[in-house]
Structure 1
């Protein structure tokens, strides 16, 4: 059986005239249920790798396969929905998180998504106890009040913005692989662990292991795998199924 995601011979060179490689012949497979931790020194190309996997950076050679199919066979907008990159911190955006949620839902690449629809009436505090993904409910598990969704992005704290952006990326549904770039870097230790547990619980069980090292029950209602950058050794130990060190390849 082919892996869920396969990166083969990925090479990206600097455009500063030196021709040196940021990524050189990088290969990696990701299986369903995995949390692959990407480790490396600052400047080693971790974020660049995730952006290449998401087809946000142009690389010189190599190929990326999802379910053994090239990214171009899906169409890049659809592929970016299926393999989704979530940055460490959201860019400073106009409007509110709720505005962005409604905009994302309007994209044609999401029309076939089976994710649960969230209406603006959810701001009034109504909730649903079923297992469908929902960005607002997910964020509320992490201490984000629903009224924050109607505030301007510029007025949110770093931790609030990070949690809302993460809840949007995960809760909107449709992604099979989520690329996480230090998703909890602005959070305190207690909130960090709440986020970790939520993210891990959404994955399907790993075939070779019944659960992750921290024993979180996996429900399989969200993405199928994560590729996760973290500088926290303890977080890597808690969440990762394996680690790839890109500075030693």
Structure 2
């Protein structure tokens, strides 16, 4: 039996320790999965991704390859394996070049193989229409679509994580550019040279979910339900 890459077991989360956002959430993420997470705005999708990334407090258990973060040297190391990509990276300080250099020098990266090409994120972003000079502009000066593409290119190009937690990664992109990003992300799952083995992908687009997803979960009223297994990639 294939070992789950990521397991959520009876996970719950509260706002201010009082109001329950969701509870009783359990699912596994396996190699090759592109798990599409859907639901109305405010249903807790982003909060769930942040729990999976250990950015929010939660109840229950979240395990990476059957173990808690403490057995991987702590949460910072865990996050090099399970990486959250925010919907609005423009809120980050400084510029993308500084962000990339900071990530490359994280202590949690020690002992990991260096990416085959440190410039690969820049190359990926350029293939998505990002001029290299944008890497030296402040995040706040970039459009939403530019910031999204740059943050995604770092997540994909560094070859660090096995699981990417994608919070509406193409919401600010036009249809043509979105298709390019979808192709890169879904191809990474299949590539033997890629470290990425699974994606959890929030989208409000039913059409996109059908294009990219292999499985789907729908969040509603504080719970999730499986809405079938697809095989579109």
Aligned to 2:22: 23
Q: Give the match's secondary structure for 1:246.
A: strand
Aligned to 1:98: 97
Residue 150 of structure 1: CA displacement? 1.7
Aligned to 1:62: 60
> What are the within-5 Å matches in structure 2 for residues 46-61 of structure 1?
46-59=45-58, 61=59
Contact 2:203-2:209 within 8 A present in 1 as well: yes
1:73 corresponds to 2:59: no
Q: Give the match's secondary structure for 1:201.
A: helix
Aligned to 1:43: 42
1:53-77: per-residue Cα shift (whole Å, max 9, x none)? 0000001x21011111112211110
Contact 2:39-2:45 within 8 A present in 1 as well: yes
Contact 1:203-1:220 within 8 A present in 2 as well: no
Residue 117 of structure 1: CA displacement? 6.0
Aligned to 2:206: 233
Contact 1:86-1:166 within 8 A present in 2 as well: yes
Partners of 1:22 and 1:91 in 2: how far apart? 26
Residue 14 of structure 1: CA displacement? 2.5
Contact 1:113-1:173 within 8 A present in 2 as well: no
Equivalent position to 1:177, from 119, 138, 163: 163
Runs of 5+ in structure 1 lacking a partner?
A: 123-133, 205-217
Taking structure 2 as the reference length, what is the TM-score of the superposition?
0.89
Aligned length: 220
Runs of 5+ in structure 2 lacking a partner?
A: 225-233
Contact 1:8-1:27 within 8 A present in 2 as well: yes
Aligned to 2:183: 197
Contact 1:12-1:23 within 8 A present in 2 as well: yes
Contact 2:163-2:198 within 8 A present in 1 as well: yes
Aligned to 1:167: 153
Taking structure 1 as the reference length, what is the TM-score of the superposition?
0.83
Aligned to 1:126: none
Which protein has the larger Cα radius of gyration, Structure 1 or Structure 2?
A: 1
Contact 1:8-1:26 within 8 A present in 2 as well: yes
Partners of 1:5 and 1:93 in 2: how far apart? 27
